[in-house]
Each structure stands twice: as C-alpha cells, then as structure tokens.
Amino acid sequence: MNTRVKILLIITLVIIILAVALHFTSRLINQDLSLVSVSTDRQEYHVGDTVHISIQNLGDRSIDIYCPEWCALGNFPTTVEKYSNEQWEYFAGFCPSIEPLFPRLYEGDYIRHTLSARSAFELEISNFEALHLRQDEKLRIVYYLDAGKVPIYSNEFTIKQ
C-alpha cells in the first residue's frame, strides 16, 4: 500500500471512532434526560401562592443538576422562563430553600447539586408577588444537566393575578 492510501485509511478510522464516541455520548445524555423529572404540584397558581417543585432522579445512579451560581448559601438557584411572543425566554431567577442542605460544588458559572439514585429534591418558590405581574403569565422551571449544557424543563404552569 502506498502512503496516500494509508493516510486515507487512518483518517477514515479516526472519523469512525469519533462518530461512535459522539453517538454514545449523546445516548447517555438523552438517557439521563429521560430519567429526570422536574414538576410542579399544580398547573395554576395565584400571585401569593407557593409553587412546590420536585426534581426526581428516576434512575439507578446519581446525577448532577446544575444551577446558575447567583444564590446565597443554602439555596438552590432556579431559573424561570415565560412564554411570550410564541417562544420561551428568561423571566426571573429565584433562590428557593432546599432542605436539608445538599453538598454543592462550583463548576464555572454553575453550582452542581448531586441527586442520589431514586431520590428527589423538593423546593418551594413563594415570592412571585415581588415581580409585580400585570397579567397572567405562563411559566416553566429550568435546570441543567451536563455542566449546564443540557436543559431540563418542568411542566408549564400559570401564575394568575
């Protein structure tokens, strides 16, 4: 075999290995998404109500949930998006309480919370009145997997005046 054929075979082999690795990695991320549930206790709230959020790990191994790094010690940063003009957009950030205090590690602009297999974090948000809503808002909660790269969303819910 001449040198040109050998180089083409090596390049082809490298491309195949990278494609397989990318496929395997994306399957693991998608598998993790299907094993995480973020939900609220109701579909409709009023401004003064408390929204109860449950983040459940339905899998057999621990997972890491990533939250923006802007809450005080002992809180679980929560991003809330609203539906406006036919798309979801950032609306507000909340620092709900989490009991007990779970171990946190900082990674870039995110706090990593480790959630054990078959367990859940239970959170509350109760300060929507601070947003001075002028109309009913359709919202959802956002957390992240994979070092803040893969979003996981709650069900949609409405905050009414």
The class that CATH gives domain 37-160 is mainly beta
The secondary structure of 32-96 as a DSSP string is HHHTEEEEES-SEEETTSPEEEEEEE-SSS-EEEEEES-S-TTB--EEEEEEETTEEEEEEEE--
User: Tell me: the pLDDT tens digits for 73-128?
Assistant: 445 667 889 999 999 998 887 766 544 344 445 556 777 788 888 999 888 888 78
Convert the pLDDT of each residue in 52-79 to its tens digit.
999 999 988 888 887 766 665 445 667 8
What pLDDT, on the 0 to 100 scale, is given for residue 32? 60
Interatomic CA distance for residues 85 and 27, integer angstroms: 33
- The answer to whether 121 touches 115, Cβ cutoff 8 Å, is yes
SS3 18: helix
Is pLDDT of 142 > 60? yes
Strand, coil or helix: what is 29?
A: helix
Element (H, E) at 23: helix 3-34
